[in-house]
Structure 1
Amino acid sequence: MKSITEEYLTNGSLFLVDEEHYAELRGYLKKVMFKKASFFLRKGEYCRYLGFLKSGVMRSFYYQSNGKEINVNFYHENGLVTDYDSILSGGQSEINIKAVEDSEMFLLDREHLQSLYHKDPYWQEFGRKITETAYLQAKKRIEGLLCLSPERRYHQLLEENPKILQLLPQKHIASYLGIQPESLSRIRRRIQGR
């Protein structure tokens, strides 16, 4: 019988790992708990890990020069959490990633991922799936900001991650949607008035 961890990794929506390769991957994974408000990554650090979020919620954000936070992404169960730019380039991160609530993740060190790539073509396919996932997330986010109205972006957030609306203050939701908190209040009033 598979453990919960094994079930997650082999049946999770992020990727599939067959039985033959699971034991090898498991040897490289590190299970870590992040308390609410603790950082997975801070601006200026080097991102060393791919994080597979088993439970909880995290957010990525930038600091503007005035100290204001601009939210880039929210991550929830089965999500890939990383600064993929820093992973690929080996450079310092420009973003911060922080736990919104207590969260559990499995971390895969980028060096271990590289060694898996050299062992077996199976792991190159695994890496390709991770890259595709990161690309599709970024593309969807950019297209949402460019092509959807703020109200449609809010509806999309409601559909995909309603829990976020209960966990974060309105200023963080508005920042993620690319609008001011006052505009978010108007959108919410319009929706409630229907």
Structure 2
Amino acid sequence: WHNKDGEDVTFQFFVENQPVASFESFAQETPSNFSIESLEDSELLILNRKNFKVLQKEEPQFSTLAYQILAKRFIEYTRYFLSRIEDDPATRYKKFKTDRPDLNQRIPDYYIASYLGISPVSLSQIRHRI
């Protein structure tokens, strides 16, 4: 999530066994503009930049895996960005329910509404209409 003028804006959800990182921060070695928050109890495996570089050198398949993860994330962000431009909130919610049915029950409405770019009240109204 990102805090914009005192309001948290959610733009991604991650689940079990999914890599989480601020690639911009990691690549540029700068503080991230985003925060990562766990909504459930979690166990994390942390890979720092130094060890990431070691794995790239010692394990050739690691670079391929890292590229695949980065490409998948970029595609997801592109779809999210286009959805925010092209789709109305009800359509975004329907896509969210279809694409991520597991999250609809696990994540509080406030975060889902933020992710969709609407208020919790609007989310409630959309759910009622659907």
What's 1:175 paired with? 114
Match of 1:94 among 27, 30, 33: 33
TM-score scaled by length of structure 2: 0.85
What's 2:80 paired with? 141
Q: Determine whether 1:69 maps to 2:3.
A: no
- Larger helix fraction of residues: 2
> Any residues of structure 2 matched to 1:1-194 within 5 Å, and which?
61-65=1-5, 67-191=6-130
Cα distance, 1:106–1:134 mapped onto 2, change above 3 Å: same
Distance between the aligned counterparts of 1:123 and 1:166, measured in 2?
34
- Larger strand fraction of residues: 1
Letter in 1 for 2:119: Q
Moved >3 Å (runs of 4+):
162-169
Secondary structure in 2 aligned to 1:63? strand
For the pair shown, the structure with the greater C-alpha radius of gyration is 1
**Runs (5+) with no aligned partner, structure 2:** none
**Runs (5+) with no aligned partner, structure 1:** 1-60
Of the structure 1 ranges 100-109 and 162-171, higher mean CA displacement relative to structure 2 is found in 162-171
Asked if structure 2 preserves the Cα contact closer than 8 Å seen for 1:71 and 1:175, the reply is: yes
Distance between the aligned counterparts of 2:28 and 2:75, measured in 1?
19
Secondary structure in 1 aligned to 2:44? strand
Q: Percent identity?
A: 29
Distance between the aligned counterparts of 2:126 and 2:60, measured in 1?
49
Aligned positions, number: 130
Distance between the aligned counterparts of 1:75 and 1:64, measured in 2?
21
